[in-house]
Amino acid sequence: MEDWMLDDGITLTVGTTSTMVECLPSPTDDLILASFLPWSHALHDRVFHILVDHLRAGIVIGPITAILINKTAGALGDYAHECQRLFHQNGGLLYLLPVSSFLQKDGTGLLYSEGDWQACSVPSPSVLYNRIPSRQLEKTDPFKRAVTCLEKAGATIFNTRFLTKSEVDQALGNHPHLQDHIPTSATGVDELEGMLSTYGDVFIKNIHGSKGRNIIRVTSGDGWEVRQNSFPGDSRQTFKNYHSLEKKVRGWCRNSTYLIQETIPFCQFNGRPLDFRFLCHRIGQEWTVLSSVARVAGDGEFVSNVDRGGHTAKPRIILNDILPLSKGIYENMKAISLSTAVYLSEVLDGHFSEFGIDLGIDADGKPWIIEVNSKPSKLTSQHSEAVRPSVRGLYQHSFSIWKEEEEGK
């Protein structure tokens, strides 16, 4: 305390929470807080980074990060456990924040202890990673007010909301370079006949769809062949007249909005659909590509999502197999993914720090942007002590944000 020129009373800042505390000298290297704090238990037996504000007589510890969830960790269990372990090892606190606690601002989160997530009092986070699965909830006034309140307190919201396929398509269509890497599209079933007349083969996708669900493919030929992967009835049907085809498609689409895209003849792997997922992540203020995988469709599927039975492989191995004489394809895909992430983070409403960007390549090796996801899947399980890149990305981003904010004050 003498070295830091602090009086007995100091301001302790944890996340976006600040409070006056009394400090007492200790014969050990510990800093003992004599004041009562409702969330003291969350800080117990943990290592933090510390910044000392001599002018304001304050100590700041961090980083403090919360993952916003529905009720429980659920499918995020393995990912969340890896995150808390990395934060614990490298300095900082990560906890899960149920959306009910977030909306009510009751200061209760889920802290990992004794092999499970347990409810306890927690400090307000400096970084909130939004992983709730409800698009409807994100549109409600209580949710928007809670986000605004946290932002006013100085927190960074990590991926404010879901994206729609139509807004991504429209945004990329305005970029002078990226517009050449997106398929031609139209919105609404009313445009189906014209798109089929022009391209003969189209995909029809729910603008709110995810995980490869609610996708229809229509191919012209001797009539029209239709394949779909989420609706009742046969997955493959044929129609001799357009009226019957449109009636069926409208029955599937109902009142939802669908995007119709020309089908690009992408390269396949062993006769199966193939695409590539690039995970782009913001570290502080800079974007980087953290990881990439090739995704090969499952048996009988016409989309390559892992959630629908697909499997992953290393991109360079796949590329060397299907286009062995082409050079620079991987680097080109990586550059396009990075440009997409940077551009969308600048032009879309909200704050985004992570995108899962899906690309396909045609026979000429040209990359095409298929989809951009603001909440990419975290289902991959880790059966070793290895930490996946997205976990390291969350920690590095949280630490950078915490340090930049505090040093800038």
Tens of pLDDT, residue by residue over 215-235, are 899 999 888 999 887 777 777
pLDDT in tens, 274-299: 999 999 999 988 999 999 999 988 77
- Over 95-147, what HEC string results? EEEEHHHHHHCCCEEEEEECCEEEEEECCCCCEEEECCCCHHHHCCHHHHHHH
Same domain, residue pair 330 and 214: no
Same domain, residue pair 149 and 72: yes
Same domain, residue pair 296 and 244: no
Q: Is 142 inside any structural domain?
A: yes
Most confidently predicted of 41-55, 62-76, 355-369: 355-369
Predicted pLDDT of residue 363: 92
Mean pLDDT, rounded, of the chain: 88
Whether the pLDDT of residue 406 is over 70: the answer is: no
Least confident of 49-63, 202-216, 298-312: 298-312
- Residues in contact with 180: Cβ distance below 8 Å, sequence separation at least 6, in sequence order: none
Query: Closest Cα partner for 391 from 376, 403, 402?
Result: 376
Same domain, residue pair 258 and 142: no
Q: Is 358 helix (H, G, I), strand (E, B) or coil?
A: strand
> Range of 301's domain?
266-374
% the chain with pLDDT above 90? 62
Instruction: Tell me how far apart the alpha carbons of residues 24 and 235 are, in angstroms, rounded to a whole number.
Output: 71
Instruction: Tell me how far apart the alpha carbons of residues 93 and 77 are, in angstroms, rounded to a whole number.
Output: 17
Please give the angle made by the CA atoms of 388, 391 and 394, to the nearest 5 degrees.
150
Same domain, residue pair 303 and 250: no
Q: Across residues 189-205, what is the average pLDDT?
A: 94
Same domain, residue pair 346 and 399: no
Whether the pLDDT of residue 46 is over 50: the answer is: yes
Is-above-0.95 flag for pTM?
no
Q: Is 177 inside any structural domain?
A: no
Q: Which residue has the higher pLDDT, 152 or 210?
A: 152
Whether the pLDDT of residue 261 is over 60: the answer is: yes
Predicted pLDDT of residue 79: 93
Q: Is 172 inside any structural domain?
A: no
Same domain, residue pair 115 and 241: no
Instruction: Tell me how far apart the alpha carbons of residues 289 and 356 are, in angstroms, rounded to a whole number.
Output: 10
Residue ending a domain, choose from 262, 294, 324: 262
Same domain, residue pair 94 and 128: yes
Whether the pLDDT of residue 405 is over 90: the answer is: no
CB 290, CB 390: distance < 8 Å: yes
Q: Is 68 helix (H, G, I), strand (E, B) or coil?
A: strand
